[in-house]
């Protein structure tokens, strides 16, 4: 078990206006690891995708809770989890396929693919009618002194 050195937890309603807050809050928390602008951009994008998935797919016809946890683990690893209690994903493997979406033609179906490409590790746990938890990890490489 990897030791947690710091963490934040916050909860919000599944309104699209809160996606930007979640992205900014996690980015501000991650800043203590001194990420590059590119690393920070990757983290923000992955959080946006995970939160947007929860807003669009977990609660399509209602408002619900979303909880975001961000932890700093030993070895400069940032772990982010996005949890909802919405309708869940019937087939996680199918949902992780590029271009698969249940969100209508305006959705790209690339959310999980994007999260996977910007993070070192992605896990998705879901149960129909009980919700989904997406957990992502990214190691932030220490920068040489004086850079």
Catalytic residue ranges: 49, 53, 107
What are 139's strand-pairing partners? 77
What is the spatial order of strands in the sheet that 77-84 belongs to?
4-13, 65-73, 77-84, 131-139, 121-127
Q: Where are the beta strands (DSSP E) in 22-147?
A: 65-73, 77-84, 121-127, 131-139
């Amino acid at each position: 078990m990897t030791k947690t050195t710091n963490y934040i937890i916050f909860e919000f309603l599944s309104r699209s206006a809160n996606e930007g807050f979640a992205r900014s809050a996690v980015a501000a928390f991650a800043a203590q690891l001194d990420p590059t602008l590119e690393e920070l951009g990757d983290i923000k994008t992955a959080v946006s995708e995970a939160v947007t998935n929860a807003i669009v797919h977990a609660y399509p016809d209602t408002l619900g809770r979303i909880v975001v946890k961000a932890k700093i683990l030993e070895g400069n690893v940032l772990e982010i989890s996005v949890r909802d209690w919405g309708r869940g994903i019937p087939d996680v493997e199918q949902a992780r396929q590029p271009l698969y979406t249940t969100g209508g033609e305006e959705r790209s179906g690339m959310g999980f693919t994007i999260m996977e490409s910007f993070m070192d590790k992605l896990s998705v746990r879901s149960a129909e009618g009980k919700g989904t938890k997406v957990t992502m990890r990214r190691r932030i490489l220490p920068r040489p002194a004086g850079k």
